[in-house]
Structure 1
Amino acid sequence: MSGKIESLTLTVGQLFNDNYTVPIYQREYVWTKSQVEQLLDDISNSFDMDDSPEYFVGSTIVCKNTKNLYDIIDGQQRLTTLYITLCCLRDVIKGFAGSAVDSNTDFINKMISDSDNDDKGNNIYRYRISLQYTDSRDILDRLANGDGEKVGSIGLSKSMDNIYKAYTSIKQFIEDTFGEDGLGIRAFAAYLKDKVNLIRIETRDVNHALRIFETINSRGVSLNPMDLLKNLIFMRSKTIDFEKISVNWKEAMDNIEASKEPPARFLIYFVTAFYSDKTVNENQIYDWFLKNPEKYAYPLIFSKDLLEAAKAFKKYVSGFNPDGTENKYLQSLKLQSSKSTRHLILLLAVSKKNTDFSNEIAKFLENLLFVYMITSTNTRKLDTKFVEWARAVSKISKYLISGFRRSRPRTRVLLLSCGAWLGR
């Protein structure tokens, strides 16, 4: 295609005349039962109206890859759900074989898979959507192949489990909505094919697509700062690094999720601990990255730093040092009634130091926050101090750190203050 952005309104049937891939750097399938059922409810309600008017489900951003397939840059949750719905409709309609209902599913089969030519002109068989991220394995292929009932729920990765649950939820929805009305199910499948529409936006390359994605989503509320940052990082990455960055990003997100803390909170603490001289809030964090591109000028290195911080973050929240050793002061902090977690900013800042240093900082924090708790003092007054101290420890040399544990408490605070002064 030319450098122009091409926008087409397509029915589901027209959309799935083409083949798509979900690149490895994309977010995995995360829709829950409520999101899946909301989409089906909306389509079903429109189907039930007089004359069954056309229904619009949104947009998707794509670009052609080197194999002449469409990479899905935005909208993959919705497209994957529609694709799973087609698999469910085919399977349910096949169950009416031998009855008065025509159980021929050829019109659905062509939207699920069809023969195609590869880049060398060889005839091959393709599923309309192919998932590239590792955790999906072959789950979507198995559903597309009609093996949904054989998948089961044992030994599935999180992404596989989400897709399998979507399949079972959709199938249950169809059965609850239509019961034994096989003709009604076929009519609903035809409605989905011919009257459910979405806009497909095609761009010249992946970077162009990512920029459009950024423009659309940074002006709305559909994605959180971590999603937008991920897009920003990939926009500035070399294609050859996509897979490595994606692996680092996924592991970082797994650690953040395991910490039970909001991803946006981790991101704010990460930025404050290592980069910013003041705290930024959730509404400001994405703009901060836009204004400070030098901080992630080397995206692969940045993704590694983010991963190491996420690992340390999970450990600190659980009461352990980054090396896995138990920290009794952090364990004590977990038992205190204060709900503030701002002290994690300072802990992240020392996460690259040695364990003795981490222990002493944790002891300092445990004593400090205990005093604030028993005196009912608002810990918000400490916010600027945590940022100041985070800057301080980043300036303390390895020689000062080696003597930190042996120094008196007053000296420790002095070292922190000196570090803060040096960081001005």
Structure 2
Amino acid sequence: MKAEECKLSSVFTGTKTYEIPSYQRPYSWVESNTQDLINDTLEAFEAEDSEYFIGSIIAIEKERDHRFEITDGQQRLTTLVIILAKLRDLIISSDAKQSLQGRIMPINALTGAPEKPRLYVRDQDKQFFIDHILAGKPIVDKSDLPVTQLRFLTNSLIVEKHLQHFDQKKLCFYANYLLENIYVVFVKTENFQSAYRLFNVLNARGMSLSNADLIKNKLFAITPVDQDHEQIKDKWDELEELISIPNLDVFFSHYRTSITGDRQRVDLNKEYENYLDTFESDSITFLNQLISSAKKYNRIKENKFDDAFTRRILSSLHRVSHDEWIPPLLCFMKYITDTKELNNFLQYLERVTYQNWVRRLGKTQRNTVYYNVINLINRGGTVKEIIDKIKEYANNEEFLNFISADVYGAQYATAILLRLEQELQDTSVTKTYEGTISIEHILPQKLSDQYWQERFSEIEHKNLIHKLGNLTLLSGRKNSAAQNYSFAKKKEIYNSKNRLVSFDLTKEVCGIEDYTKLVLEERHKKLLKLAGEIWSIN
């Protein structure tokens, strides 16, 4: 291993090229990271500091003094290339332009063709980076760009915003300052193992690594060098494509719980290191299992099931304020694929999830049932045994007491009403609800209209106003319009826009002639009975 201070001019010089290897995370710097680097170097430039140190770069020397594989520092190095490329674009002088072009991607003077780039980013983004950053080609269509390519573009625009008001002299002097006065510590190692150790020691530099980054690096570290790292890269790329990079850590957490059936005791990446040891360096088998689970996870998250009943239950579960129910479902789907058995399990999973949510149990209590179910599934329990385990945690009486009381204002109120709305439809009907949905008080919150004053006393109003039987669903716009009017005026507003209403709960209200205390109480009993049918665990 060798470490030395280097000017950027000696980093971007000669025939030196740098490659971002497969085990590295994608380019992840956001606007604030780039702004910090620009501001720091501009302050040093304007203060005329003779030297300014911006951190370290760790690289494996693949060809002596020529080709390097970047292990740590890719975010900083990539952003420096983006800055130099934007300076190249802004500077008019052909000599200065040519000099900067040579630092990032030399151009053959005789043919005008580009030569090897100084920096090769990951394969998925390589051509975009060459075309639109290093070669400066304009982007015709910016829609649907992958996250990483969008970051290249966004950070390039941030650099332009900082520099576009500089005159030509200042642009050239700043470019020269970057190359001659900005320093890095360049650490060269001879092999992956040495670079990996340093990488883990220094991973807190710059932008902290995610658990997924560290798990990925562990995979490469435990795989013997003589085995095919390219296959690991391809498998990991498939995983990223399935889950998306920002969601990987959440998926890894759910997958871990579906295996262990226990709470997390140390850092997630540390738990995976211990788990990976059981594979005895067989990274491909581990990745195949991950990918298989990732496909199931996607089906759950996107509710991609053919069966209408399955979709109904899942849409209901997705309205819960937590997603702790996902690991037991992932675990169940690993072993059992029959739709009938899946639906039998799902309806009990929904029931216990809603009961515990409405009963306001803490996370530890909620997870107890999930952990026990996961452990039973992993031990080979039958569907009947699994459902019997869920039944042990039933508390129908307490659940129905909560639902019978004031519901409006509770975290679960909208989810309860939407699930009741679903149940009014045949199972062959699947509805999706978008836009602003609000809860409407049929008996208004203020007894300002004579219609209501004649039918409800102050005490009756206070006792009934927030009960389930007095609530329905509306779009946000219609809710605002309904306000405290009489029942006839409210129905007119509910039925506005071609006399159509989005919600069957509200359509039923529109069929009522006179909204009295008795009507409200009967509606309350009816909805409570329906709630009991949906969520009671018998």
Task: Give the TM-score normalised by the residue count of structure 1.
Answer: 0.80
Per-residue CA distance 1:117-159 (angstroms, 9 max, x = gap): xxxxxxx93211112x332141222246533335652564433
- Structure 2: how far apart are the matches of 1:365 and 1:220? 43
Match of 1:348? 330
Counterpart-to-counterpart distance in 2, 1:233 and 1:323: 37
Contact in 1 for aligned 2:377/2:386 (Cα 8 Å)? no
SS in 2 for 1:280: coil
CA–CA distance in structure 2, aligned partners of residues 202 and 380 of structure 1: 48
Residues 264-279 of structure 1: pairs in structure 2 closer than 5 A: 264-274=249-259, 276=260, 278-279=262-263
Which residue does 1:318 correspond to in 2?
A: 302
Q: State the alpha-carbon separation in 2 of the partners of residues 200 and 36 from structure 1.
A: 21
CA drift of 1:380 comes to 2.6
2:9 maps to what in 1? 13
Instruction: Tell me which residue corresponds to 2:231.
Output: 244
> Structure 1 unaligned runs (5+)?
98-102, 117-123, 418-424
1:18-43 deviation per Cα after TM superposition (whole angstroms, max 9, x unaligned): 21111233222222222222211111
- Name the residue aligned to 1:105: 97
Pair 351,19 (structure 1): closer, same or farther in 2 beyond 3 Å = same
Tell me the secondary structure at the aligned position of residue 31 of structure 1: coil
Alignment of 1:229-308 (within 5 A): 229-239=215-225, 240-257=227-244, 263-274=248-259, 276=260, 278-280=262-264, 284-297=267-280, 298-308=282-292
Cross-structure match for 2:123: 134
Gaps of 5+ in 2: 109-113, 393-538
Distance 1:59 1:299, change over 3 A: same
- The Cα of 1:187 is off from its aligned counterpart by 0.6
Q: How does 1:5-404 map to 2 (within 5 A)?
A: 5-17=1-13, 18-49=16-47, 51-65=48-62, 69-94=67-92, 104-114=96-106, 125-131=115-121, 133-143=122-132, 146-149=135-138, 153=142, 156-176=145-165, 178=166, 181-217=167-203, 222-239=208-225, 240-257=227-244, 263-274=248-259, 276=260, 278-280=262-264, 284-297=267-280, 298-320=282-304, 326-336=310-320, 339-352=321-334, 353-356=336-339, 357-396=341-380, 400=382, 404=383
Mean CA deviation greater in 356-365 or 182-191: 356-365
Q: Kindly report the root-mean-square deviation, in angstroms, between the aligned alpha carbons of the 2 structures.
A: 3.1
Post-superposition Cα deviations, 1:380-420, rounded to whole Å, max 9, x if no partner, equal 303233222212112227xx4xxx3xx5xx77325999xxx
Structure 1 residues 29 and 284, CA, compared in 2 at 3 Å: closer, same or farther?
A: closer
Q: Which letter does structure 2 place at the counterpart of 1:110?
A: G
| Higher RCO (CA 8 Å, separation ≥ 6 residues) | 1
Report the Cα distance in structure 1 between the residues aligned to 2:205 and 2:346, rounded to whole angstroms: 40
2:140 and 2:62 map into 1 onto residues whose CA distance is 30
Check conservation: 2:211, 2:268, Cα contact below 8 A: yes
Deviation at 1:70, TM superposition (A): 0.3
* Conservation of the 8 A alpha-carbon contact between 1:31 and 1:77: yes
The verdict on how the C-alpha distance between 1:137 and 1:19 changes in structure 2, with shifts beyond 3 A counting, is closer
Deviation at 1:291, TM superposition (A): 3.5
Secondary structure of the corresponding residue to residue 56 of structure 1: strand
Deviation at 1:311, TM superposition (A): 2.5
8 Å CA contact retained: 2:235, 2:287: yes
Distance 2:306 2:214 in 1: 27
- Give the percent of matched residue pairs that are identical in Structure 1 and Structure 2: 21
Structure 2 distance, partners of 1:211, 1:253, is 25
Kept after mapping to 2: 8 A contact 1:58/1:198: yes
Residues 152 and 65 from structure 1, CA distance in 2 versus in 1: closer, same or farther, beyond 3 angstroms? Answer: farther
Give TM-score scaled by structure 2 length.
0.64
Which is greater in Rg? Answer: 2
Name whichever of 381-390 and 217-226 sits farther off: 217-226
